[in-house]
Structure formats: C-alpha cells, structure tokens
Chains A and B, each alone.
Chain A
Amino acid sequence: GAGVSQSPSNKVTEKGKDVELRCDPISGHTALYWYRQSLGQGLEFLIYFQGNSAPDKSGLPSDRFSAERTGGSVSTLTIQRTQQEDSAVYLCASSPRTGDPYEQYFGPGTRLTVT
C-alpha cells in the first residue's frame, strides 16, 4: 500500500519567510511524528500527535515552529520567519501504535534550504 508521503520534496526560501511542510501518513495510523535531520546530526524529535490527544510539543526548538494535524490524518509543520539554521531535512513518520514494539514508518523527507 501507499507509504508516508511528504511535500514538497525540496523547498528553497529566503530568510524571514514562512514555510509550510506537509505530511500524509499511512491511512489508519493513529500516531504521527515530525523530526529534523541537520547535516551531520542524528534525528531531532520535534512533535508527536496521537489520536485526539493534545500533541507532545516538547521537541519544538522555538515558538517559530508549530504543527497541526487535521482530522487525525494530514499534518502541516509551519516555520515562521525562517532562519538559516532552520535549513535541514524534515522527516515525518507515522505508526499504527500496535504490536510490540511500535514501529514508525518514515516518509522521504522535505529538504529545506533557507538562503
């Protein structure tokens, strides 16, 4: 079946502009995660949605970052007033949160470049 999809695959923006990154999880997956992967770094957790519960925003690096998940499906990560240090690959993952252990399924990522 279809996997996790993300759009756009690449985004170049000027410093100070706002950007929106989209994630379409696997149908039926209740959990959705956003990560940031900077050059030479591992994965940095950003935010986690589970069903209708309030999202876990503990990983968001600043108040310029926000995310929402509409209808328990599609999610949008918004970065306001982008800075050059925001340049990274943004990965989305979803999970059915069943089985032991929970497995996360990753999308291909959005490469964000802030000039």
Chain B
Amino acid sequence: AQSVTQLDSHVSVSEGTPVLLRCNYSSSYSPSLFWYVQHPNKGLQLLLKYTSAATLVKGINGFEAEFKKSETSFHLTKPSAHMSDAAEYFCVVSDPYSGGGADGLTFGKGTHLIIQP
C-alpha cells in the first residue's frame, strides 16, 4: 500500500522569503510523484511531476521539488514567495500497480500556504 504525509497543515511565510512545503511518501514500488496547487474556488492545477528522469524537478511559477529516495521525501520549494502563491498545495503519489481506487493516485491532506505582506 502507498501513502502520502504532508507534514504541515498550514505554512505561513513573508512575501519574498523562501517557501518549504514538506511531503513524505511510502510506496512498494518506484512511484511517480506530483504537486498540485488549488487556488480559492478553483480546481487543482499541476505544479510539477517526478518521473524518475531527474531527481530535481522544476515546475511552474518558480517552484521546484527534489526527490530523495533515501528519505522518501518530495519537498516543494520556492526561493522567494509571492502573494499570488497563497493557495492549498497537495502532494500526490502515483503507483498504478497499487490497485488504488483513484487509478493508483493517493493524495495528501494538503498544506495551506499563507503569504504575509
């Protein structure tokens, strides 16, 4: 079975400072991993995905994430936060062989990112 743990339900940073959203996973196989962002009253938008091609993955809006197999982590970072980054962020693990109901996708519970002016 696979699982995803987002270690912080809320993260608050000041505009212009770095962002770190933490995600740990467990999976029986070599999973694929995603980060999605959800702005208020919007659907989920893909930020980036890890497909084993490179451990450091760059996404949209200046976000990036590093896959660390030894730590089973896929933390999301951004060097400098912007007010428009305020949103809910979901870490997702994908393992089609897991037989999970969502076609092998397991969602974390989300991290609410707050940007202080």
* A residues at B contact (CB < 8 Å): 4, 31, 33, 35, 41-43, 45, 48, 50, 56, 58-59, 91, 93, 95, 97, 100-109, 111
Cα distance A76–B90 in the bound complex, in angstroms: 25
| Chain B residues with CB below 8 A from A108, complex form | 41-43
Question: Does B101 lie within 8 Å of A59, measured CB to CB?
Answer: yes
Question: Does A56 lie within 8 Å of B101, measured CB to CB?
Answer: yes
| Chain A residues with CB below 8 A from B45, complex form | 106
* B residues at A contact (CB < 8 Å): 32, 34, 36, 41-46, 49, 51, 90, 94, 96, 100-105, 107-110
Cα distance A100–B29 in the bound complex, in angstroms: 14
Cα distance A83–B76 in the bound complex, in angstroms: 37
Nearest A residue to B112, CB-CB: A40
Closest 3 CB pairs of A and B: A101-B32, A42-B109, A106-B43
Cα distance A105–B44 in the bound complex, in angstroms: 8
Question: Does B32 lie within 8 Å of A100, measured CB to CB?
Answer: yes
Partner of A104, one of B41, B100, B105, B110: B105
- Sample 27 A-B pairs with CB under 8 A, ordered by A number: A33-B103, A41-B109, A42-B90, A42-B107, A42-B110, A43-B44, A43-B90, A45-B101, A45-B105, A48-B102, A56-B101, A91-B43, A97-B103, A101-B34, A101-B96, A102-B94, A104-B103, A104-B105, A106-B36, A106-B43, A106-B44, A106-B45, A108-B42, A108-B43, A109-B41, A109-B42, A109-B43
Cα distance A70–B53 in the bound complex, in angstroms: 37
Cβ distance A38 to chain B, nearest Cβ, rounded Å: 11
Question: Does A107 lie within 8 Å of B109, measured CB to CB?
Answer: no
Cα distance A42–B43 in the bound complex, in angstroms: 13
Partner of A95, one of B34, B42, B103: B103
Cβ distance B24 to chain A, nearest Cβ, rounded Å: 15
Cα distance A108–B45 in the bound complex, in angstroms: 10
Most buried by B among A41, A43, A48, A101: A101
Partner of A43, one of B32, B96, B104, B107: B107
